């Protein structure tokens, strides 16, 4: 076979997982080449930039936050379930403080400023917060709540403050990056070992074409998330440029190929096939999150798992006053502790409530909420909250009237409020287990029902991304075959693979797993 390029380790997809894999492989002495279909960065660069870490990180200690590996493990055991082996989760927890130090050593900025209120995402004053369900009743029963959401320091959604320092560090370390290169097939030797890839690259296109391709890819990435029709138009233009200008090349990987090309949330066909209940959300990822990395692994005899598992985000705060409201279904009944993380709320809506739900607040909660919006919400949160209040709110002077106007059970809603208020007055545990510091007796009207249903909506969408992927050896990151054996020369990391967050997601757990699994795959491939 004729090869156009040769390296020791080839990284396919250059987001957080790919950058971490490349850095670790390079530190182990391997020559590393990374390719990316677009500009690099993946979903990480577009994200809020949260890394879930604890057990006594440098940032936690500086902030005066007390945490232990045992407390972190107790919480994550409840969230992670059986997505990975207990010993893998233990390793993830024990290495958590070192992970933050490693990221900081490569230039990722963190800050020990603790957010004083519970929120879905802190504003630009705070960079350490409760990023999961730590404060909810169910998890307080397991371990005291601790702030473990480490937000990279930067204005707005700060995912770029994670990816860009890692990318710069990789280039300084000698990692070669070839953007605008799409891997279309794996190459195997006669013994079945993965020894390289076949790809199509824009590297030989005219300079003006390459600049246009990069610009289109950039716009399709972030603005395209929020306006899917724009993304579809740009995707067609990108495909047309690839068909006309891309040249086929073969790249040899002497030690291993690492698949770190993201999940499949941007592939509507795969989503409809594996998770049809989640087609009404907003694809939170890049055009590159099309499942191509997973499909490459399957073509080599790999096994995918949990492909029906999607994280759907329905945050009810900020403002934090809304945590004291009541989430109800069509029967007027509550179905979850309102302090649970937004993905737990979203999945409960999709899986149990037919994607329909409403948040009930009284006049006092609405007054507090409007006061909090200016102080607690970052700009995009204010836009979504204002949209919710303006376009998804139904008000009435009585509970029965507001239920009637929305079309849910008036008797059910009245009974729900009665049980909720009675538990508070008697000092009993909330019927849904919500902690007492978040409960509020529903008092006088006007009452408002805010529609938090999961459906396509431009101003208040429900972001989603896939959690399933290729099964890997949890000690090495090697992709596992249908026979349960490692496929020689093939590794996977990040959302291309099953990982720590493949059962239940909380903010920061995916990027943390990208770092954990990316470093594991990079070291293993280089060490072969």
Q: Tens digit of pLDDT for each residue in 33-48?
A: 999 999 999 999 999 9
360 φ, ψ (degrees, to nearest 5): -95, 125
Residue 352 CB neighbours (<10 A): 12
For CATH 3.50.50.60, list the domain ranges present in the chain. Answer: 5-46+158-201+248-311+465-527
**Which tokens sit at 269?**
């066909």
Q: Is 84 helix (H, G, I), strand (E, B) or coil?
A: coil
pLDDT tens for the chain, 528 residues long, are 799 999 999 999 999 999 999 999 999 999 999 999 999 999 999 999 999 999 999 999 999 999 999 999 999 999 999 999 999 999 999 999 999 999 999 999 999 999 999 999 999 999 999 999 999 999 999 999 999 999 999 998 999 999 999 999 999 999 999 999 999 999 999 999 999 999 999 999 999 999 999 999 999 888 878 888 888 999 999 999 999 999 999 999 999 999 999 999 999 999 999 999 998 888 999 999 999 999 999 999 999 999 999 999 999 999 999 999 999 999 999 999 999 999 999 999 999 999 999 999 999 999 999 999 888 988 888 888 888 888 899 999 999 999 999 999 999 999 999 999 999 999 999 999 999 999 999 999 999 999 999 987 777 789 999 999 999 999 999 999 999 999 999 999 999 999 999 999 999 999 999 999 999 999 999 997
Q: Give the CA distances from residue 362 to residues 323, 443, 445, in Å, rounded to whole numbers and listed in that order.
A: 12, 6, 6
Judge residue 84's burial from the number of C-beta atoms within 10 Å of its C-beta, 0-12 exposed, 13-18 middle, 19 or more buried: buried
Cβ atoms of 146 and 35 closer than 8 Å: no
Q: What pLDDT score was predicted for residue 43?
A: 96
171 φ, ψ (degrees, to nearest 5): -65, -40
**Which tokens sit at 230?**
């724009």
Q: What pLDDT score was predicted for residue 404?
A: 97
Which of 396-422 are b and which e, b meaning 16 or more Cβ less than 10 Å from the residue's Cβ? Answer: beebebbbeebebbbebbeebbeebee
What is the CATH class of 314-451? alpha beta
Q: What pLDDT score was predicted for residue 222?
A: 81
- Structurally, at CATH architecture level, domain 5-46+158-201+248-311+465-527 sits in 3-Layer(bba) Sandwich (3.50)
∠ at Cα 13 (11, 18), nearest 5°? 60
For the four alpha carbons of 187, 22, 486 and 273, in that order, the dihedral sign comes to negative
Q: Is 74 helix (H, G, I), strand (E, B) or coil?
A: helix
280 φ, ψ (degrees, to nearest 5): -95, 10
Query: What angle do helix axes 86-94 and 96-105 make, rounded to 10 degrees?
Result: 50
Query: What angle do helix axes 160-172 and 16-27 make, rounded to 10 degrees?
Result: 30
Q: What pLDDT score was predicted for residue 229?
A: 87
d(CA 58, CA 201): 42
Whether this prediction's pTM lies above 0.85 is answered by: yes
Cβ atoms of 50 and 149 closer than 8 Å: yes
Residues in CB range of 425: below 8 A, 6 or more apart: 441
pLDDT digits (tens, 9 = 90+) for 468-480: 999 999 999 999 9
Cβ atoms of 149 and 4 closer than 8 Å: no
For CATH 3.90.700.10, list the domain ranges present in the chain. Answer: 314-451
265 φ, ψ (degrees, to nearest 5): -65, -25
Q: What pLDDT score was predicted for residue 1?
A: 75
């Amino acid at each position: 076979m004729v090869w156009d390029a040769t390296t020791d380790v080839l990284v396919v997809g250059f987001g957080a997982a790919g950058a971490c894999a490349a850095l670790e492989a390079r530190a182990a002495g391997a020559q590393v080449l990374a390719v990316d279909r677009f500009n690099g960065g993946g979903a990480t660069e577009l994200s809020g930039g949260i890394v879930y870490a604890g057990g006594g990180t440098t940032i936690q200690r500086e902030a005066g936050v007390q945490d232990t590996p045992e407390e972190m493990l107790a919480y994550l055991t409840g969230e992670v379930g059986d997505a990975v082996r207990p010993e893998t989760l233990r390793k993830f927890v024990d290495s958590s403080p070192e992970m933050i130090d490693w990221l900081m050593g490569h230039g990722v900025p963190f800050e020990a400023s603790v957010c004083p209120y519970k929120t879905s995402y802190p504003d630009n004053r705070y960079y350490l917060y409760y990023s999961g369900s730590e404060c909810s009743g169910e998890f307080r029963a397991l371990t005291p709540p601790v702030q473990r959401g480490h937000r990279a320091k930067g204005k707005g959604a700060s995912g770029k403050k994670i990816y860009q320092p890692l990318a710069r560090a990789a280039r300084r370390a000698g990692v070669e990056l070839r953007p605008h290169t799409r891997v279309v097939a794996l190459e195997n030797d006669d013994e079945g070992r993965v020894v390289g890839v076949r790809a199509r690259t824009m590297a030989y296109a005219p300079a003006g074409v390459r600049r246009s391709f990069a610009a289109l890819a950039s716009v399709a990435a972030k603005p395209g998330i929020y306006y899917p029709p724009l993304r579809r138009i740009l995707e067609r233009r990108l495909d047309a440029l690839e068909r006309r200008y891309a040249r086929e090349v073969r790249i040899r990987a002497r030690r291993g190929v690492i698949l770190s090309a993201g999940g499949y949330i941007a592939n509507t066909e795969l989503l409809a096939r594996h998770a049809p209940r989640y087609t009404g959300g907003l694809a939170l990822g890049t055009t590159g999150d099309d499942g191509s990395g997973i499909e490459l692994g399957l073509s080599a005899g790999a096994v995918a798992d949990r492909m029906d598992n999607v994280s759907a985000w329905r945050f009810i705060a900020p403002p934090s006053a809304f945590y004291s409201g009541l989430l109800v279904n069509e029967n007027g009944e509550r179905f979850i502790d309102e302090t649970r993380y937004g993905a737990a709320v979203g999945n409960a809506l999709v899986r149990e409530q037919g994607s329909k739900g409403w948040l009930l607040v009284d006049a006092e909660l609405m007054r507090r909420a409007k006061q909090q919006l200016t102080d607690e919400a970052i700009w995009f949160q204010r836009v979504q909250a204002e949209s919710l209040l303006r376009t998804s709110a139904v008000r009435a002077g009585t509970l029965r009237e507001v239920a009637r106007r929305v079309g849910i059970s008036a008797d059910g809603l009245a009974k729900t409020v009665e049980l909720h208020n009675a538990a508070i007055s008697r000092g009993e545990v909330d019927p849904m287990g919500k902690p007492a510091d978040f409960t509020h007796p529903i008092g006088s009207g006007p009452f408002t029902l805010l529609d938090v249903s999961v459906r396509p909506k431009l101003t208040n969408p429900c972001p989603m991304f896939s959690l399933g992927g290729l099964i890997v050896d949890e000690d090495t990151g090697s992709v596992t075959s249908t026979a349960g054996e490692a496929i020689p020369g093939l590794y996977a990391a990040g959302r291309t693979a099953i990982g720590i967050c493949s059962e239940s997601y909380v903010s920061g757990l995916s990027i943390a797993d990208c770092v954990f699994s990316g470093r594991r795959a990079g070291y293993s491939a280089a060490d072969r």
